[in-house]
A and B are shown apart, each in its own frame.
Chain A
Amino acid sequence: MIPEPKELRTEEMLLNMGPQHPSTHGVLRLVVKLAGEEVLDVVPHIGYLHTGFEKTMENRTYHQNITYTPRMDYLHSFAHDLAYALSVEKLLGAEVPERARVIRVILNELSRIASHLIFVATGLLDLGALTPFFYAFREREAILDLFEWVSGQRFHHNYIRIGGLREDLPEEFVPELKKFLDTFDHRVDDYQGLFVGSPIFEGRARGVGVISAEDAIAYGLTGGSLRASGVNYDVRKAYPYCDYETYDFEVPLGERGDTWDRMVVRLEEMRQSARIIRQGLERLEPGPIRDPNPHFSFPPRELLATSMEAVIYHFKLATEGFEVPPGEVYVPTESARGELGYYIVADGGSMPYRVKVRAPSFFNLQALPVAARGQFFQDLVAILASLDPVMGDVDR
């Protein structure tokens, strides 16, 4: 006979999760305080991917910095390019032509779809559903091919220039994009059918990791995670840029602010993005793609062979950059993760004096302890995935 224990010994446990862990979506380290299976507290430790972009950008010209911006959020990199360009253009007073604005909107939404596809794929992978991962990556591959067509790069497009775009769209792009859009909507329906309504997903996501609207605002959430809590805040509607106010789209909202809402809001956002792209394609008229001001726009490539002045301007812009009048500026934009903006302090020289990136993932991560307290440990992974942090964006 084994003697009965006099009393059961219980104690709190500190568990380290990460920085190398498949479901932390990058190099994030969480120190989790557990009582049995219940999470008492989570302390995120970040900085494993800190690259010092802000310091580097202070020491490069405004034009060179376009190389650094997409490397922060590598999933929705077009949003970082765009946010940076918008801030500098505001300081310069640049006029971006209509065609460039439409192309920017189309590519920004396309990039947002690619980012949300990763979100849905990896989020469900963390819950044990392997199938959506392969389907979503099929769509994403098609989008990356489109980007490769446009800019020569799949991830870090380097396609935006201050005052416009690097070059015009290739001829094949529009028909290929239309082909992609023809099948896209019913494929989103397919993904939705794969998990929404499944009892396993309902059980793992419904009512798990609830963030109330008050908490979401207090802890700095933006983007889809904030809208899942029922707050109707989309920068594209609240502070329109690139003519977003003229596009017809809806902002999907959640009701409870749980993991389920955060997943489904992003699915719906993909449909709305596709809707914006269709409207953008209708508006695509031939025209210039850059502000013609030679003081910050590179001369057209073909002029370099015939015009000496164009060669001089090209050389000056490439070696010395252009001067930006002194001032401080911030333009909010909507990335796939939330409000993104570049606060730029200019001192009149050809390099920014200070660049501060308002990275949405950095702020969204603060809400993780709020959402995870009192939940089971296995749900922590799902809650983290539903907040959609990109570590490049968090650490910069």
Chain B
Amino acid sequence: MRRDQAKAYAEEKGIPIREEHGMLHLVLPLSEFKIHMRAFKEMGFNYLADVIGVDYLDYPEGTSWQHPERFAVIYELVSMPGFRDGDGSRIYPRVYVPEKKPRLASVTDLWPSANFPEREVYDLFGLAFEGHPDLRRILLPEDAEGHPLRKDHPLGETPTLFNDGRYIDPASFRAGLRGKDKGLTGWRGGRRKGERR
């Protein structure tokens, strides 16, 4: 299996590995990220299924996931089954990108299908891909300001008004649901005392 091959490669190179829900996550260092991606391509991961941007700004501490930098770009590589000797292995290498220098190398030369999804990450997160042939906004208009999927981008909602001037402010309502604030229901998130599970 190419998945085991990729795992052995990561162990040899000292790349942190995480296996969860049957998915193999590999945390590549930003400086050598392109070298490792090229190695995966040569290993036979011929299909890039997705490029996923995540902004870990608000991610809570205390979970088993540790995120050294604010942004992460997660790639989903597949050895395409039904094509030559593809065996259907899937790996999820990721690279953390610092907020101060939001740049990383593009993989469009290895997998041309990275073109649109990298533009999407650029558009919605503001991460620049060096070496991308056509790095423009893709979903938002050219003159849009900001990058909406960043966690500090406002949602832009209007409060719901009720009688007597009372209203529900969506942001504080959700803060209650997230456990950061008392919110409307007075619930702080997490398990309550005496709750059986």
How far in angstroms is the closest Cβ of chain B from A51? 10
Chain A, residue nearest B25 (CB): A328
When the two chains form the complex, which single residue of B58, B65, B112 contacts A218, counting CB atoms closer than 8 Å? B112
Interface residues contributed by chain B, number (CB under 8 Å): 54
Q: Is the CB of B59 within 8 A of A320?
A: no
How far in angstroms is the closest Cβ of chain B from A253? 9
User: Which of B7-15, B32-40, B81-89 is near enough to bind chain A?
Assistant: B81-89
Decide yes or no: A232 and B82 within 8 Å by CB, A46-B138, A55-B155, A349-B189 being known contacts.
Answer: yes
B140 within 8 A of A: yes
A239 within 8 A of B: yes
Chain A, residue nearest B183 (CB): A320
Residue numbers in B under 8 Å from A47 (CB-CB): 137-141
Residue numbers in A under 8 Å from B116 (CB-CB): 220, 362-363, 365-366
Q: Is the CB of A320 within 8 A of B113?
A: no
A347 within 8 A of B: yes
How far in angstroms is the closest Cβ of chain B from A371? 14
Chain A, residue nearest B115 (CB): A366
Q: Is the CB of B64 within 8 A of A326?
A: yes
Residue numbers in B under 8 Å from A46 (CB-CB): 138-139
Q: Is the CB of B82 within 8 A of A238?
A: yes
A339 within 8 A of B: yes
Interface residues contributed by chain A, number (CB under 8 Å): 50
B158 within 8 A of A: no
Chain B, residue nearest A52 (CB): B148
Point out residues on A near B: beta carbons under 8 Å. 46-47, 50, 52, 54-55, 59, 61, 90-91, 213, 217-220, 231-233, 238-239, 295, 319-321, 323, 326-330, 332, 339, 341, 343, 345, 347-351, 353-354, 356, 358, 362-363, 365-366, 395-396
Point out residues on B near A: beta carbons under 8 Å. 20-21, 23, 25, 46-50, 52-55, 58-60, 63-65, 74, 76, 80-83, 88, 92, 111-113, 115-117, 120, 124, 137-141, 148-149, 153, 155, 170, 174, 177-179, 185, 187, 189-190, 197
28 pairs from A and B in contact (CB 8 Å cutoff): A50-B140, A52-B148, A55-B148, A59-B170, A90-B21, A91-B21, A218-B112, A220-B112, A232-B82, A233-B82, A295-B197, A323-B190, A327-B20, A328-B23, A328-B25, A328-B74, A330-B92, A341-B50, A343-B52, A343-B74, A348-B63, A349-B178, A349-B189, A351-B174, A356-B52, A358-B50, A362-B117, A366-B116
Besides the known contacts A238-B81, A330-B92, A347-B59, 9 further A-B residue pairs in the complex with CB atoms under 8 A apart: A219-B113, A220-B47, A231-B80, A232-B82, A232-B83, A347-B63, A349-B177, A350-B177, A358-B49
Chain A to chain B: the 7 pairs with minimum beta-carbon distance, closest first: A220-B113, A232-B82, A326-B63, A47-B139, A50-B139, A233-B82, A356-B52
